[in-house]
Chains A and B, each alone.
Chain A
Amino acid sequence: KAGVTQTPRYLIKTRGQQVTLSCSPISGHRSVSWYQQTPGQGLQFLFEYFSETQRNKGNFPGRFSGRQFSNSRSEMNVSTLELGDSALYLCASAPAMNTEAFFGQGTRLTVV
């Protein structure tokens, strides 16, 4: 069974640009969550989607947004990038909400 796939794996962007990251969950999983991981803050919850609806949102500015498609694939978008947005962005899928989550390898975003 294929795991969680995130694309791209690495990304370099300039301040002020926007970026879209993609996540394909494990087949049959309907919940997709996004996290930001930095050395100083650890794993920070961004949002969770289930059946195309955002069910929960973390304490991030409105520049961070996401969506989920009918096939459970998800995208997150960050607009007007700032240097502080440089991080590893992780996607996790789960069969349902509030169950064990399986992570992808992440997208490492560098903002210069």
Chain B
Amino acid sequence: QKEVEQDPGPLSVPEGAIVSLNCTYSNSAFQYFMWYRQYSRKGPELLMYTYSSGNKEDGRFTAQVDKSSKYISLFIRDSQPSDSATYLCANPSNDYKLSFGAGTTVTVRA
């Protein structure tokens, strides 16, 4: 079982829609999580960093952590074509390595 599971999609939504991205994790030792955005042929860019249960908001982005079910989510409100990218979730594994999900490719249609 991979330490971080993420539906690779792809996901296509119309402009203005809410994008919902989800990951599950298996390691409970390190309770902090990251979401990255990666544009084609670029390095991943850190979007959100959270270490507690509940919601964390940053502009149009909301990260949600449910530790009881080991589920993390990223919501993008009022999505824009510029949000079209691959989104990766990450969580440290038991041996301190940062484990990434497979990434979900999102396309926001104008």
Contact = CB atoms under 8 A, between A and B. Distances in A.
Dominant secondary structure of chain B at its interface with chain A: loop
B42 A42 contact: no
Contact of B34 (A55, A56, A100): A100
Interface string B83-110: 0000010001001111111110000000
B43 A33 contact: no
A43 B91 CA distance: 13
A58 interface: yes
A43 B45 CA distance: 14
Interface residues of B, number: 22
Contacts of A48: 96-97
A66 interface: no
A103 B22 CA distance: 22
Interface in A72-102: 90, 92, 97-98, 100-102
26 contacts: A4-B43, A42-B100, A42-B102, A42-B103, A43-B88, A45-B97, A45-B98, A45-B99, A48-B97, A55-B96, A56-B97, A58-B97, A92-B98, A97-B96, A98-B30, A100-B34, A100-B46, A100-B49, A101-B34, A101-B46, A101-B98, A103-B36, A103-B43, A103-B46, A104-B43, A105-B43
